[in-house]
């Protein structure tokens, strides 16, 4: 028997298939999210890796920004609960989980078995999220995955004072024009994201064990700077970006096993005030 979890994010679609023991048997990732063919492609890849067909799925759970777009899923659940659940399996000793995705940054306190106890979230503004890093990478005309290599080559930190993505982008462009090295500017960008994330983490309590998930967890340079700021080493997994989808798959399995009714725990969506006058919401 197989269970499917799909995380339809703002920038990427991630899918995980687990078996009746809760072991991962397939996963798929596609670099586009809600409103695209990304979810279908990620699901196809996960099923192919598991060597099964969609008919073999006993129960499914959708999470993420675009979870309500998948009308055939048996249930939906908030990203927060799914990330907590996934982290409970990937990092059984972690009490604090820092998740930075394409559109938001969140810090979770988790209890036994990946139960969500508390959280703090930045979802009003692109600052401190993957989107901020994507915009900066486009200024340097490199891939976001190259930023860590630049950081490794830095010899000093060229500080970025603006947190707003639009203002920070202008600041980066003028630093480049002023002859600063890309590597040092990237170090400054990572410092700025790390500072903001550490502030979020302090609101919910840090440690004793800390893990990082979401696509931005793959950025070693940023992770190291964040670890220094919070004073704790950060656990990471090669499955970091799949954490929400894993939590969804485990939830689908548990729900099916308990034969509980499907539920949707909704969290506040990204409506309402914009972050500041600088971006007027466009950077989100
Ligand atoms: P979402 O669920 O909102 O789509 P993800 O958790 O999938 O977000 O993370 C997407 C973000 O992760 C991207 O915006 C990008 O900044 C970052 N990212 C993705 N892949 C990498 C990588 N290989 N190295 C560094 N950062 C990455």
Domain with 68 in it: what CATH number?
3.30.420.40
Asked if the structure places residue 187 within a domain, the reply is: yes
Q: Which domain holds residue 60?
A: 2-77+242-280
Whether 144 is in a domain gets the answer: yes
Sequence-distant (≥ 6) Cβ neighbours of residue 273 within 8 angstroms: 124
Q: Domain tally for the chain? A: 2
- Ligand 1 pocket test: which of 33, 42, 144 has the largest number of ligand atoms within 8 Å of its C-beta? 144
Verify that 135 and 224 share a domain, yes or no: yes
| Residues 114 and 222 both lie in one domain | yes
**Shortest-distance atom of ligand 1 to CA 64:** 2
Q: Are residues 173 and 54 in the same domain?
A: no
Q: In what order do the strands lie in the sheet with 234-235?
A: 115-122, 105-111, 96-100, 210-213, 234-235
What separation in Å is there between the alpha carbon of 9 and the centre of ligand 1?
A: 10
Which residue's CA is the closest to the ligand 1 atom numbered 20?
215
Does 138 contact ligand 1 (Cβ within 6 A)? no
Kindly state whether residues 102 and 222 are assigned to the same domain: yes
| Residue 104: inside a domain | yes
* Cα 168 to ligand 1 centroid, rounded to whole Å: 19
Instruction: At 217, list the tokens.
Output: 């967890």
Smallest CA-to-CA distance from 249 within 106, 77, 125 is with 77
Per-residue pLDDT tens digits of the chain, which is 284 residues long: 999 999 999 999 999 999 999 999 999 999 987 788 899 999 999 999 999 999 999 999 999 999 998 889 999 999 999 999 999 999 999 999 999 999 999 999 998 888 899 999 987 788 899 999 999 999 999 999 999 999 999 999 999 998 888 999 999 999 999 999 999 999 999 999 999 999 999 999 898 899 999 999 999 999 999 999 999 999 999 999 999 999 999 999 999 998 745 444 444 443 333 444 444 444 43
> Do 246 and 232 have their domain in common?
no
CA of 6 to the centre of ligand 1 (A): 16
Shortest-distance Cα residue to atom 19 of ligand 1 = 215
């Amino acid at each position: 028997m197989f269970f499917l979890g799909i995380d339809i994010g703002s920038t990427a679609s991630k899918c995980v298939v687990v078996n009746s023991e809760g072991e991962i048997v397939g996963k798929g990732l596609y670099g586009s999210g809600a409103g695209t063919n990304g979810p279908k492609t990620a699901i196809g890849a996960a099923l192919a890796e598991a060597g099964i067909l969609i008919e073999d799925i006993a129960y499914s759970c959708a999470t993420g920004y675009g979870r309500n777009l998948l009308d055939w899923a048996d249930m939906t659940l908030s990203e927060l609960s799914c990330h907590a659940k996934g982290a409970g399996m990937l990092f059984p000793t972690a009490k604090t989980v820092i998740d930075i995705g394409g559109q938001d940054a969140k810090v979770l306190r988790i209890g036994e078995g990946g139960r969500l106890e508390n959280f703090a979230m930045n979802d009003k503004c692109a600052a401190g999220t993957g989107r901020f890093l994507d915009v900066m990478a486009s200024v340097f005309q490199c891939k976001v995955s190259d930023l860590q290599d630049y950081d490794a080559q830095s010899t000093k930190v060229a500080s970025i004072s603006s947190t707003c993505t639009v203002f920070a982008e202008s600041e980066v462009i003028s630093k480049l024009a002023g002859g600063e090295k890309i590597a040092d500017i990237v170090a400054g960008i990572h410092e700025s994201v790390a500072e903001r994330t550490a502030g979020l983490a302090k609101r919910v309590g840090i440690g004793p064990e800390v893990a990082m998930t979401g696509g931005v967890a793959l950025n070693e340079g940023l992770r190291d700077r964040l670890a220094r700021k919070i004073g704790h080493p950060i656990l990471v997994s090669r499955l970091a970006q799949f954490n929400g989808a894993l939590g969804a798959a485990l939830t689908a399995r548990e729900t099916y096993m308990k034969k509980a009714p499907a539920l949707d725990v909704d969290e506040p969506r990204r409506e309402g005030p914009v972050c500041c006058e600088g971006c007027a919401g466009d950077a989100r």
